[in-house]
A and B are shown apart, each in its own frame.
Chain A
Amino acid sequence: KAGVTQTPRYLIKTRGQQVTLSCSPISGHRSVSWYQQTPGQGLQFLFEYFSETQRNKGNFPGRFSGRQFSNSRSEMNVSTLELGDSALYLCASSSARTTGTEAFFGQGTRLTVV
């Protein structure tokens, strides 16, 4: 069974640009969550999607958005990039309709904003 696939692995963008990251969950998993990981703040929850609906959202500005498609693949978008958006962006997939089940992470997308 294939794991969680994130593309691209690495990105370099200029301040003010926008970026779209992609995540393909484990086959059969319908829940996809996104996290931002930085040395200073650690792993922070961005949002979660289940069956194309956002069910939960963390404390990030509106520049961070996401969506999920009918095949459960998810994208997150960051508009008007800032230097502080440089981070490892991780997505996690879960089979759960409810909370409290295992989450499996992809390898992440390393975003560098210059």
Chain B
Amino acid sequence: GQQLNQSPQSMFIQEGEDVSMNCTSSSIFNTWLWYKQDPGEGPVLLIALYKAGELTSNGRLTAQFGITRKDSFLNISASIPSDVGIYFCAGQRWGTSYGKLTFGQGTILTVHP
């Protein structure tokens, strides 16, 4: 089935450092979404991207929709302990893919105070 390759799988960083993670696909997606999930909870939407090349920020988070429509990245600046969690990228294709998001495997982020 369709796969999104998300990297890195995990990151261990110091508080205050910047973080970068990305997702790539062999196929085009029309929408890219980034989520954060805490243990035992549902994913929380961070940023949504709808146009190739689009760069969108949400506080310390910045995400970009790749020009080829096959990739996206998420940056977190000046990390803080509450950034700890699992970050997922998700893509959706227009047309008949109603409700279907294809997810990456997730990036586990650990922030050391």
Contacts and interface: CB of A to CB of B under 8 A. Distances in A.
Contact of A102 (B33, B41, B95): B33
Nearest to A6: B42
Interface string B74-113: 0000000000000010101111111111111110000000
A100 B50 contact: yes
A56 B97 CA distance: 7
Q: What size tier do the contact residues of chain A reach?
A: 20 to 34
B40 interface: yes
A92 interface: yes
B31 A100 contact: yes
A6 B40 CA distance: 13
A102 B48 contact: yes
A105 B43 contact: yes
Nearest to A33: B99
Given A31-B99, A56-B100, A100-B30, A106 B42 contact: yes
A45 B43 contact: no
A56 B96 contact: yes
Contacts of B59: none
Contact of A99 (B45, B90, B94): B94
A31 B101 CA distance: 13
A42 B103 contact: yes
A59 B42 CA distance: 22
Interface string A73-114: 000000000000000101010100011111111111010000
A35 B88 CA distance: 14
Contacts of B96: 55-56, 99
Interface of A: 4, 6, 31-33, 35, 42-43, 45, 47-50, 55-56, 58-59, 88, 90, 92, 94, 98-108, 110
Interface of B: 1, 30-31, 33, 35, 40-45, 48, 50, 88, 90, 92-106
13 contacts: A43-B103, A48-B99, A49-B99, A56-B98, A56-B99, A99-B92, A99-B95, A99-B99, A100-B92, A104-B45, A105-B35, A107-B42, A108-B40
